Amino acid sequence: MKTEKEKMLAGEYFNPFDKELSKERLEARKLLHQLNHNAPENLQQQKQIIRKLLLNSSKATFIQPPFYCDYGYNIKAGKGVFFNFNCTLLDLANIEIGDKTMIGPNVQIYTAVHPTNADERATLVEKGQPVIIGKNVWIGGNATICPGVTIGDKSIIGAGSVVTKDIPANVMAAGNPCKVIKELE
């Protein structure tokens, strides 16, 4: 029999109110509170908190607080990844972000999926679908990246876009729903 955490990590429906998962979210929130309420000039302490929170990310990941996530350990940010103010990552599935990617303010990256059947949804179970963002991508402010989406290397996502489907490499895409506008050189 799988634990609720094993179900979560396997992309299966799970109970998010499980004791182990609740404890892990609380630990992440404690670190987020430290990060989000840290003196802005104390960059060294911020880096230490980020390393504890994002265990699987590069030490060269930079976060401009405030920042929000569920667990932190499911976020794999590469070298030189930059998160601007007020980003929210619901990381109950993997979120992989390639090197040198810039993420604008108020960007939201979601992996959480809820049942479409109302009776099932009322049980409060959920599952996750991973999000993969390539290298050297620029995501404009207020963009929303939905569960299961892949964004290719060197692409640009316009501000305010809602990305519901995969976006190929080397394109500019924008809108709601987000669509390719043009290829980039």
- Which whole-number Å values give the CA distances from 118 to 13, 108, 123, 128, 180, in the listed order? 15, 25, 9, 18, 33
33 is catalytic: no
Residue type, 3: T
Whole-angstrom Cα distance, residue 7 to residue 103? 29
Please list, in sequence order, all residues whose beta carbon lies within 8 angstroms of the beta carbon of residue 70, skipping any fewer than 6 positions away.
25, 28, 89, 90, 91, 92
DSSP H/E element including 30: helix 19-36
- Token look-up 């003196």 returns 39
**Which entry of 25, 114, 135, 179 is annotated as an active-site residue?**
114
Closest CA to 132 of 171, 156, 96, 157: 96
Taking the alpha carbons at both ends of the chain, their separation in whole angstroms is 51
Catalytic annotation, residues: 114
